[in-house]
Amino acid sequence: PSVLGLESGGIHVTTFNSIMKCDVDVRKDLYGNIVMSGGTTMYPGISDRMQKEIT
């Protein structure tokens, strides 16, 4: 996004914001079931980083 001049939070921010828009009753389940897929998820350490940043 920054290459295009757009400001955007990281995937942890986007994930957090999405979960916070959901009903309070399901948030805990959503946090426990985050699935990452796609080409950029193949970067070494991305899963650990996401887990660290989302908690």
Predicted TM-score (pTM) of the model is 0.77
Q: Where are the domains of the chain?
A: 2-54
pLDDT digits (tens, 9 = 90+) for 7-35: 888 889 999 999 999 999 999 999 999 99
Tokens of 55: 């908690």
What is 2-54's CATH number?
3.30.420.40
In angstroms, rounded to a whole number, what is the distance separating the alpha carbons of residues 35 and 51?
11
Choose among 13, 15, 6, 7: nearest CA to 36: 15
